[in-house]
Amino acid sequence: MPTETFEFQVEARQLLQLMIHSVYSNKDVFLRELVSNASDALDKLRLAALRDDSLDADISDLHIELEIDQDARTLTVRDNGIGMSYDEVGQLIGTIANSGTAEFLRELKEAQDGAGAEGLIGQFGVGFYSGFMVADEVTLLTRRAGEKKGTRWTSRGEGTYTLEEADDAPQGTSVTLRLKPADPDNQLHDYTSVWTIKEIVKRYSDFITWPIRLVGEAASEGDGPAEPETLNSMKALWARSRDEVSEDEYHELYKHISHDWRDPLETIQLQAEGTFEYQALLFVPSHAPHDLFTQDFKRGVQLYVKRVFIMDDCEALLPPYLRFVKGVVDAQDLSLNVSREILQQDRHIRMMQRRLTKKVLSSVKSMMAGDAERYATFWREFGAVLKEGLITDSDNRDAILAVSSFATTHGADETVTLKQYVERMPDGQESIYYITGGSRQSVDNSPHMEAFRERGIEVLLLTDPVDEVWVDAVGEFEGKRLQSIAKGEIDLGARGDEKSEGEREQQAEEYAGLLGWMSEQLQEDIKEVRLSSRLTVSPACVVADAHDLTPALENMYRAMGQ
């Protein structure tokens, strides 16, 4: 088969441009990305071999190699993992499958500052392309385990790449970077330096559970070939006690498993002993991913069994409303052959889910008590997701309510918990008042607010779609009913200038004609027209019956096609 030349997909080309004229201040991370891919490839091969006895693959010494060629100025990252077929290389390396990429590129244009752009890129896993930050040509040679023929992919990152069959490819993948000249002023270090490479591996990839070996001439000091040196300690961080591990080490593990470039907001560790032993290391990200509310959002943590990677995105270990949590769970007593179907029904897994859920909720609670600013970030990013739990997880409803807080008429920026609301409720107020709507501005301007504002009564401003649903599911808090100010009759009690019974009757008579006429004109759209004491400035407002859907909820159901 002759060499074929292909054009990068438009989005891929744009991302490559970003890499080449790098927006990252820290270029060292290219190595973390390539090592991370190699590690994934080794995980996949071990698992494939475990599942399929007939797979013709050598798994006797799975590892990652780094080779420096000082004369040619190249650095090669090699693994003997799962590899890729010819078609896979084209699909995985030549295109960006992520449907959010167009959206991302738009956001990126808006993000003026470099830091914002760097953060944004992190969400989109452009891992492999980061090689182009430090290299002017990248060659990838790969052979899929079990297949005879290999593939060579080459590109200068300038719009095209070539693909050809390769007879000489060993199993696995090697990525060779032809390095740009070092430019320390631009954070472009000398990646032919053994010392630099060792340092970067130690800093970013120490926890990788496969050996990362330095091989070749540059590796052997003095004369003759030496034993290849293993650069990483390979210690599973989740199995070590917290005081042995630095914050940085946890953060690097988080970045490896989440494909996020930013530090997590919170690190949570749990070591369960006893008859069903497991260790968990969970992370709350500092930013909600852009696709958190889409159908194909991949949720779940990584599952290991006795240090062996079993699967990504294991959904069974956490409920959907904690789908933003990332991490690793390593169980001692599960079969290596465990499948997603089995996990869904396993009694131990259900117990683990309960325990992990409680642990996450209690961590949020400590965050709330100990660090208001971090909690505020958490709530801003994930509050809308967590509130789904108020509907779906009645066992933990109280714990979720305890860490939920809401915008309020009694504070421009700060939020209030239901507990705080009830504590500062004036005597005689029997309900917790709220209003739902699409935005803070729209609820602020709602005519329903007038009477409450006039009387200085606190109203919770609920503007997430899920709010419509949980308020009904929860119903009350500490014996106080959750009451929408846009539904049914609300008796706000007497006010100094309130009209007497007689006056009201007189008014009703006076306006009977007008009300009758209005009812007739609007009969297609409304049930009744009545006089109201709710309004102070606006002439009229639309009120729903106590049991009706609110307009926002109607829209939500309509959007869901119901």
Please report, as ranges, the residues that interact with ligand ADP according to CB under 6 A: 33, 37-38, 41, 79, 81-84, 92-93, 125-128, 173, 259
Residue 330's binding partner, choosing from Mg ion, ligand ADP, none, with beta-carbon cut-off 5 to 8 A by kind?
Answer: none
Nearer residue to Mg ion within complex by CB, 127 or 551: 127
Single-letter code of the amino acid located at 475: G
Residue 415's binding partner, choosing from ligand ADP, Mg ion, none, with beta-carbon cut-off 5 to 8 A by kind?
Answer: none
**What three-state secondary structure class fits 414?**
strand
Could you tell me the smallest distance in angstroms from the CB atom of residue 131 to Mg ion?
Answer: 11
Could you tell me the smallest distance in angstroms from the CB atom of residue 264 to ligand ADP?
Answer: 17
Chain residues in the site for Mg ion (CB under 5 A): 37, 127
Residues with Cβ < 8 Å from 82, sequence gap 6 or more? 41, 42, 44, 45, 48, 144, 145, 172
Contact assessment for residue 159 and residue 103, using Cβ atoms and an 8 Å cutoff: no
CA 254/CA 262 separation, integer angstroms: 9
Could you tell me the smallest distance in angstroms from the CB atom of residue 175 to ligand ADP?
Answer: 7
Could you tell me the smallest distance in angstroms from the CB atom of residue 263 to Mg ion?
Answer: 18
For helices 29-51 and 247-258, angle between their N-to-C axes, nearest 10 degrees: 60
Nearer residue to ligand ADP within complex by CB, 38 or 552: 38
Residue 171's binding partner, choosing from Mg ion, ligand ADP, none, with beta-carbon cut-off 5 to 8 A by kind?
Answer: none
Could you tell me the smallest distance in angstroms from the CB atom of residue 128 to Mg ion?
Answer: 6
Residue 525 burial (CB < 10 Å; 0-12/13-18/19+)? exposed
Residue 41's binding partner, choosing from ligand ADP, Mg ion, none, with beta-carbon cut-off 5 to 8 A by kind?
Answer: ligand ADP
Single-letter code of the amino acid located at 80: N
Residue 84's binding partner, choosing from ligand ADP, Mg ion, none, with beta-carbon cut-off 5 to 8 A by kind?
Answer: ligand ADP
Could you tell me the smallest distance in angstroms from the CB atom of residue 203 to ligand ADP?
Answer: 19
- Nearest residue to 476 (alpha-carbon basis) of 412, 397, 529: 397
Residue 92's binding partner, choosing from ligand ADP, Mg ion, none, with beta-carbon cut-off 5 to 8 A by kind?
Answer: ligand ADP
Residues with Cβ < 8 Å from 138, sequence gap 6 or more? 131, 132, 154, 155, 156, 157, 175, 176, 177, 178
Could you tell me the smallest distance in angstroms from the CB atom of residue 259 to ligand ADP?
Answer: 5
- Nearest residue to 50 (alpha-carbon basis) of 285, 310, 420, 274: 310
Could you tell me the smallest distance in angstroms from the CB atom of residue 296 to ligand ADP?
Answer: 15
Residue 436's binding partner, choosing from Mg ion, ligand ADP, none, with beta-carbon cut-off 5 to 8 A by kind?
Answer: none
Nearer residue to Mg ion within complex by CB, 42 or 390: 42
Nearer residue to ligand ADP within complex by CB, 138 or 310: 138
Could you tell me the smallest distance in angstroms from the CB atom of residue 447 to ligand ADP?
Answer: 50
Contact assessment for residue 408 and residue 417, using Cβ atoms and an 8 Å cutoff: no
Single-letter code of the amino acid located at 263: D
Nearer residue to Mg ion within complex by CB, 37 or 76: 37
CA 544/CA 52 separation, integer angstroms: 61
Contact assessment for residue 94 and residue 243, using Cβ atoms and an 8 Å cutoff: no
The token duo for 134 is 């430090």
Q: Is the dihedral of CA 454, 460, 466, 469 positive or negative?
A: negative
Nearer residue to ligand ADP within complex by CB, 92 or 544: 92
**N-term to C-term CA, the chain:** 54
**Chain position whose Cβ is nearest to ligand ADP:** 127
Nearer residue to Mg ion within complex by CB, 37 or 408: 37
Nearer residue to ligand ADP within complex by CB, 43 or 381: 43
**Chain position whose Cβ is nearest to Mg ion:** 127
- Nearest residue to 325 (alpha-carbon basis) of 363, 273, 296, 271: 363
Q: Starting at the earlier edge strand, list the strands of the sheet with 212-215.
A: 4-7, 160-166, 150-155, 135-143, 172-179, 74-79, 64-69, 212-215, 229-230
The token duo for 269 is 């560790």
Contact assessment for residue 131 and residue 77, using Cβ atoms and an 8 Å cutoff: no
**DSSP class of 115:** H
Could you tell me the smallest distance in angstroms from the CB atom of residue 126 to ligand ADP?
Answer: 6
Nearer residue to ligand ADP within complex by CB, 29 or 386: 29
**Strand-pair category, 74-79 with 172-179:** antiparallel
Nearer residue to ligand ADP within complex by CB, 95 or 429: 95
Could you tell me the smallest distance in angstroms from the CB atom of residue 218 to ligand ADP?
Answer: 21
Nearer residue to ligand ADP within complex by CB, 36 or 436: 36
Residue 38's binding partner, choosing from ligand ADP, Mg ion, none, with beta-carbon cut-off 5 to 8 A by kind?
Answer: ligand ADP
